[in-house]
Chain A
Amino acid sequence: MNKTTTLITASVCTTALAWSASLLADDDFITLASTTSTENSGLFDAIIPTFTEATGIDVRVVAVGTGQAFEIGRRGDADSLLVHDTAGEEQFVAEGYATERLDVMYNDFVIVGPSDDPAGISDSESVADAFARIAESESPFASRGDDSGTNRAELRLWEDAGVTPQGEWYRELGSGMGPTLNTAAGMDAYTFTDRATWVAFDNPQNLTLLFEGDEALFNQYGSLLLSEERHPHLKHDLAAQWHQWLVSEEGQQAIADFKVDGQQLFFPNAE
């Protein structure tokens, strides 16, 4: 190899190593496993800077499906969890992976669908009724099918409606909320989504919001304080600060202040 090539290669390698080193150098951060719907809404972009300014701690968000978030937590790969599956969260605590679970905020789920509403759900009296009408009319329905918080909520509502969703009209996509909405828009199908993702979603095509408001559509978010015993290596002190901040006055206010198109997407409800 001639001298020029050696020089160039050496420079590239050194620069690459220096870059990576600089990235790892910052020690004051925690890794937060949360869900794609929360990330996609833009909430974290809004509230994390406030937290960082107050505490000097950066929050690195890994946004995955709820199932994967729990798995990351079990493996000790994240310092903190913020998800929306209360039953799952309580089980997580019961299994000893977390020492505490706190209510942080809520939003609601809505049903969106083709603007001509073939199943006629817009005047349904309850979400159970709406689901029943979709099943009866066998209108195409796109389900996330990914064991996420949203998906689990959707399946509970089918159960409440007394319907086992199956058949060609019920399409399980195994996808996150965004991709599911994309696919639903492309298929002109009904789908079950959280309001925050829907409001922030940029590709609705022919879909519009058709049903909302039922109490059963309440979607609670919880923060989990992970167990020091299970995973001693985690940054528990820093994570505890985040956990406390979320339910503090400042944190709750930051959540309430977050709006998209003038709409508030998350409603703080810590005790």
Chain B
Amino acid sequence: MAASDNPFYTALTLILGMDSNLIDIVALSLQVSLSAVLIASALALPVGAALALWRFPGRNGMIVVLNALMGLPPVVAGLCVYLMLSRAGPLGSLGLLFTPSAMVVAQVILVFPIIAALTRQQVEALHHEYDEQLRSLGLTPLRMMPTLLWDARFGLLTVVLAGFGRASAEVGAVMIVGGNIDGVTRVMTTSIVLETSKGDLPLALGLGIILLALVTLINALAHAVSEAAKRRLG
């Protein structure tokens, strides 16, 4: 990929030129991060809600750990997943290392604590408000879970977007478990690292601009959907 000196110009030419390499990289980035966020949400929303609704020994410890893990360095997560998926490691026979699946796994680990911790916070606030009335109606905590999660849906959308932001922005994890293999596991962030290390800074920055534009677009879409839903339903 040739480059001029102006990153905005570079970004624009890349987009307009529909560079097939770029399209593959963008598609893979979206695929990995969106899959990771979906899987992490499916796991973390119920876990976060459960933490909000039940008291049990060790609950406070779990909350602290989850909150702390929101700051888990991506490269550490990547390293741990690498050691697990390496042939020399426990799950090596799955043959997942250096594939997009490994990247999804690593990003799920990164995104899960964010969604779980913030879901807990949102659901706990709602639970506070609703608890007596819901118990009066005869609901057990278990049955309250889907109700509270749905009622918190607008706040939770922001939480999921935060998770997506984290996934699409990180490079440490996907670099180690994916290997940045051209055409196979190369995503936007690892491309940026590669081009930087080659000294092609305008191209690296241009890719960065494209990545930001993409993430902004997704956020704008989500916002529009939620605003429309709010208008319809309050």
Using C-beta atoms within 8 Å of the partner chain, give the interface range for chain A: 35 or more
Report which residue of A16, A45, A185, A204 has the largest number of chain B beta carbons within 10 angstroms of its beta carbon: A16
CB-CB under 8 A from A187, the residues of chain B are none
**Is B67 located at the chain interface by the 8 A CB criterion?**
no
Q: Is the Cβ of A202 less than 8 Å from the Cβ of B198?
A: yes
Complex alpha-carbon distance, A147 and B216, angstroms: 40
Count, chain B residues at interface, CB 8 A? 31
Give which listed residue, B89, B97, B150, B197, contacts A182 with CB less than 8 A: B197
Partner among B31, B86, B199 whose Cβ is within 8 Å of the Cβ of A178: B199
Main secondary structure of the interface of A (DSSP, over half): helix
**Is the CB–CB distance between B34 and A203 below 8 Å?**
no
B88 within 8 A of A: yes
CB contacts (< 8 Å) of A61 on chain B: these are 181-182
Q: Which residues of B contact A179 (CB under 8 A)?
A: 196-197
Chain A nearest CB from B175 CB (Å) reads 9
Does A75 contact B87, Cβ atoms closer than 8 Å? yes
A23 CA to B99 CA, complexed, in Å: 8
* Interface: B101 (CB within 8 A): yes
- Given the complex of chains A and B, what is the CA–CA distance between A19 and B184 in angstroms? 11
When the two chains form their complex, are residues B98 and A60 in contact, meaning their CB atoms are under 8 A apart? Answer: yes
Are B150 and A1 in touch, CB under 8 angstroms? yes
Q: Is the CB of A20 within 8 A of B199?
A: no
**Min CB gap B90→A, angstroms:** 12
Q: Does B35 contact A (CB under 8 A)?
A: yes
Interchain CB contact (< 8 A) of B99 among A24, A40, A200: A24
User: Is B10's beta carbon under 8 Å from chain A?
Assistant: no
Is A177 an interface residue, CB under 8 A from the partner?
Answer: yes
Are the CB atoms of B101 and A24 closer together than 8 Å?
yes
A182 surroundings in chain B (CB, below 8 A): 196-197, 199
- A176 close to B (CB within 8 Å): yes
Residue of B nearest to A2 (CB): B229
Report chain A residues within 8 Å CB of B150.
1
Chain A residues lying within 8 Å of B31, measured Cβ to Cβ, are: 15-16, 19-20
List B contacts of A45 (CB < 8 A).
182
A165 within 8 A of B: no
The reply to whether the CB of B200 lies closer than 8 angstroms to some CB of chain A is: yes
Query: Is residue A31 within 8 Å, beta carbon to beta carbon, of the partner chain?
Result: yes
B residues in contact with A178, CB < 8 Å: 196-199
The answer for the CA separation of A75 and B87 in the assembled complex, in Å, is 6
Question: A164 in the interface, Cβ–Cβ < 8 Å?
Answer: no
Q: With A and B bound together, what is the CA distance between A190 and B93 in angstroms?
A: 46
| Structural contact, A31 and B98, CB atoms closer than 8 A | yes
A-chain residues with CB within 8 Å of residue B199 when the two chains form the complex: 178, 181-182, 185, 201-204
CB distance A76 to B197 under 8 Å?
Answer: no
**Is B100 interfacial (CB 8 A cutoff)?**
yes
Q: In the complex, what residue of chain B is closest to A78 when comparing beta carbons?
A: B98
Residues on A with beta carbons closer than 8 Å to the beta carbon of B198: 40, 178, 200-202
On whether the beta carbons of B101 and A74 are closer than 8 Å, the reply is no
Query: Shortest Cβ distance from A261 into chain B, in angstroms?
Result: 13
* Cβ–Cβ contact B201 & A203, under 8 A: yes
Partner of B87, one of A64, A204, A233: A233
| Chain B, residue nearest A231 (CB) | B87
Known: A20-B31, A181-B199. A76 touches B98 (CB 8 A): no
Bound together, the chains give a CA A23 to CA B200 distance in angstroms of 29
- Give chain B nearest CB distance to A188 CB in angstroms: 15
Alpha-carbon gap, A9 to B100, bound state (A):
20
CB–CB B98/A16 < 8 A: no
Interface flag for B38 (CB, 8 Å): yes
Q: Could you jot down 24 A-B contacts, CB within 8 Å?
A: A1-B150, A12-B38, A17-B35, A20-B35, A24-B99, A31-B98, A31-B181, A36-B197, A60-B179, A60-B182, A75-B86, A75-B89, A76-B86, A76-B87, A77-B86, A77-B97, A77-B98, A178-B199, A179-B197, A181-B199, A185-B199, A202-B3, A202-B200, A203-B201
Which A residues are within 8 Å of any B CB, using their own CB? 1, 9, 12-13, 15-17, 19-20, 23-24, 31, 36, 40, 44-45, 60-64, 74-77, 176-179, 181-182, 185, 200-204, 231, 233
Residues of chain B at the chain A interface (Cβ within 8 Å):
3, 27, 31, 34-35, 38, 86-89, 92-93, 97-101, 104, 150, 179-182, 184, 194, 196-201
